[in-house]
Amino acid sequence: MDLGLTDRVYVLTGASRGLGFATAECLVADGARVVLAARDTARAAAAAAQLGGPEHAVAIGADLADPATPDRLVETARTRFGRLDGALISVGGPPPGTASAATDEQWRQAFETVFLGTVRTARTVAAALPAGGAIALVLSTSARTPIAGLGISNGLRPGLAGVAKDMADEYGPQGVRLVGLLPGRIMTDRNRELLAASGDPERARAEAEAGIPLRRIAEPAEFGRVAAFVLSPAASYLTGVTIPVDGGALRGL
């Protein structure tokens, strides 16, 4: 299938590694060009070089907690590649722990980055997109069911799923799509940290895999291919939904 990605331009946040980088790889492989944003400028630059350099990918150091970041992303795409067709908005997960154990400061920091930073970027990019543009928010399966030990995520992700639905309604008449992606267990650095925090990573991995119908933790590329499709013109009638990429772990229909 031709996804129609040739020469289209996307901005991706949290894209120096993990799910963001995996998505960027899939987009570039199908002919798109990308702007990679991450807080670590050197790491973002290395990721852009790995994707083929300035003809295919450029990098900026940016933090979603900074109100200036969304405009910088839009302007960079337009300046370097002459257009903007969509975005993958991903941020690092908040610290583990229960909702009641998290401090006010941890809640505040997570809200500023995970929630408000995502909303601010989504609305800025959506307003800049032409008809046919698309935005995917990287959320979590915690948007549908709480995950033990991830209290802050359990509090914020469902709200972002609601925001994505609301924005899909608002921008749909302009031909702009918004979709929420719900990654489950995928072997990113974040999941390695969570497994390590258990004290017995191998046992924790075996227990996690036992709860997944496919009986394995996914590789980032398996998420990246889904995200690239969702952002592509091939998914032109897909909006206002949340899509689990979880090997069947969620039990809801």
Whether residue 205 is contained in a domain is answered as yes
Name residue 76's amino acid.
T
In this prediction, residue 204 has a pLDDT band, given cuts at 50, 70 and 90, of confident
Whether residue 233 is contained in a domain is answered as yes
Residue 195, pLDDT > 90, answer no
In this prediction, residue 196 has a pLDDT band, given cuts at 50, 70 and 90, of confident
Whether residue 88 is contained in a domain is answered as yes
Mean pLDDT (the chain) is 95
Instruction: Tell me what percent of the residues of the chain surpass a pLDDT of 90.
Output: 88
In this prediction, residue 23 has a pLDDT band, given cuts at 50, 70 and 90, of very high
Whether residue 1 is contained in a domain is answered as no
Q: Ramachandran region of residue 137, left (φ > 0), alpha (ψ -120 to 50) or beta? A: beta
Residue 231 belongs to a domain with what CATH number?
A: 3.40.50.720
Whether residue 159 is contained in a domain is answered as yes
Our count of domains for the chain comes to 1
Q: Decide if 50 contacts 26 (C-beta within 8 A).
A: no
Whether residue 68 is contained in a domain is answered as yes
pLDDT of residue 189: 83
Q: Please list, in sequence order, all residues whose beta carbon lies within 8 angstroms of the beta carbon of residue 5, skipping any fewer than 6 positions away.
A: 27, 30, 31, 32, 228, 232, 233
Whether residue 252 is contained in a domain is answered as no
Residue 79, pLDDT > 90, answer yes
Whether residue 235 is contained in a domain is answered as yes
Q: Decide if 64 contacts 113 (C-beta within 8 A).
A: yes
pLDDT of residue 212: 95
In this prediction, residue 191 has a pLDDT band, given cuts at 50, 70 and 90, of confident
Provide the residue range defining the domain that includes 181. 9-109+122-245
